[in-house]
Amino acid sequence: MRKIEVRPVSSALGAEISGVDLSRSLDEATVNQLKDAFHQHLVLFFHDQDLSPGQFLEFAGYFGEVIPYPMVKGLDDYPDIVPILKLPDETVNFGGIWHTDTAYLDVPPMASLLIARELPPVGWGDTLWSNMYLAYETLSDGMKRTLDGMTAVNSSTKGEAAATREDRRKTAAKNDVGEAPEAVHPVVRTHPVTGRKALYVNSGHTTRFSGMTEGESAPVLEYLFAHQIRPEFTCRFAWRPSDIAFWDNRATQHLPLNDYHGYKRLLHRITLAGDKPV
């Protein structure tokens, strides 16, 4: 067995992985090394992994149960793989706001994976991730006491996030979980593997604190939304064709940049089943 190489990309989170060919079946020891790196760094990046859809699904399956995305249809032959697509005549990119994937579900996903299929000649649409452990741990003791035990409402219809899905939903809409899924989750969740606390609100989906109006909630939420994406909590990934990113939705947020107007960009996404936040 060859030990994989793990190279951190920032002090906050993220690591590039080398020394493994994901087109081949992985042995248990290699999978365990990748799981350890995943829990330590929260986002893993793999370069030059030219996987077929079937191989991409096989790799994802080592880490959890593959589940469908509720809002947009997947590929015809691989319905659990969703195209993350922006066409040359479109100006809004899919998911183009800081968010945690589908936090509006009662049981949000554990992780997501992306593979780059077609990138524009300029811009490329780099993606940023932010560490929600650090976002929680750097709050004042008073704010931690206030937030611990609180819950918040997360909705699929929150304006800016919903708008980023509209181009795809015009031709590939689906509603496996209803027209407007909504879920209540702890504002601070405990990671089921590491036991660390993470701030679990996000500007894409969180609308208000439970038992409070949106107006009453807004001042604190706006502070938290700004705090949790401070540059020192983040890493940035510059995509190349056949690159893969694999991230932990329970302790990160991400933002795909929209800097390639007039060009097509296509990635494929897989989602892994998670657990109910506590």
Report the SS3 class of residue 154.
strand
Question: Residue 129 — φ and ψ, nearest 5°?
Answer: -125, 150
- Tokens, residue 217: 């909630």
DSSP code string of 110-151: SEEEEEEEE--SS-TT-EEEEEHHHHHHTS-HHHHHHHTT-E
Q: From the candidates 41, 101, 185, 243, which is the catalytic residue?
A: 101
- Given 185, 205, 268, 269, the catalytic residue: 269
Q: Give 116's strand partners.
A: 267
101 an active-site residue? yes
Q: Residue 120, Cβ neighbours under 10 Å: how many?
A: 18
The one catalytic residue in 41, 99, 189, 268 is 99
Q: How many CA atoms lie within 13 A of 182 on its CB side?
A: 12
| Choice among 165, 250, 254, 265 that is catalytic | 254
Catalytic sites, residue numbers: 99, 101, 254, 269
